[in-house]
Amino acid sequence: MRKSRIWPKVLLFLFVVASLAGAAMLGRNLALYGHVWGPGESGNRINILLVGIDDGDLADPKNSPHRSDSMLLLGVHKGSGAVSLLSIPRDTRVPIPGHSNNDKFGHSFAYGGVDLTIATLQEFLKVPVHYYVVADWQGFIRVVDALGGVDLYVENKMDYEDPYANLKIHLKKGFQHLNGQQAGQYVRFRYDEMGDIGRVIRQQKFLKALATQAIRPSNLIRLPQIMGIIGQSVQTNMTPWSFRQVFMALPSLKGNKIQSDMVPGNFANIGGVSYWASDPEETRKVVERLFIAPPQPPAEKK
Identify the band that residue 152 occupies on the pLDDT scale cut at 50, 70 and 90: very high
The 10s digit of each residue's pLDDT in 172-189 is 999 999 999 999 899 888
The 10s digit of each residue's pLDDT in 76-91 is 887 777 788 898 998 9
Measure the CA angle with vertex 50, ends 47 and 55; round to 5°: 160
Gyration radius (Cα) of the chain, Å = 19
- Choose the CATH number for 3-146+231-292 among 3.40.1160.10, 3.30.420.590, 3.40.190.10, 3.40.220.10: 3.30.420.590
Cβ neighbours of residue 188 closer than 8 Å, sequence gap 6 or more? 54, 69, 137, 167, 169, 199
Q: CA 285 to CA 125: how far, in whole Å?
A: 11
How far is CA 88 from its chain centroid? 9
Determine if the pTM surpasses 0.85.
no
The full set of domain ranges for the chain reads 3-146+231-292
What does the pLDDT read at residue 121? 97
- DSSP character at residue 74: E
Residue 211 in 3-state DSSP?
A: helix
Give residue 250's region: left, alpha or beta (phi > 0; psi -120 to 50).
alpha
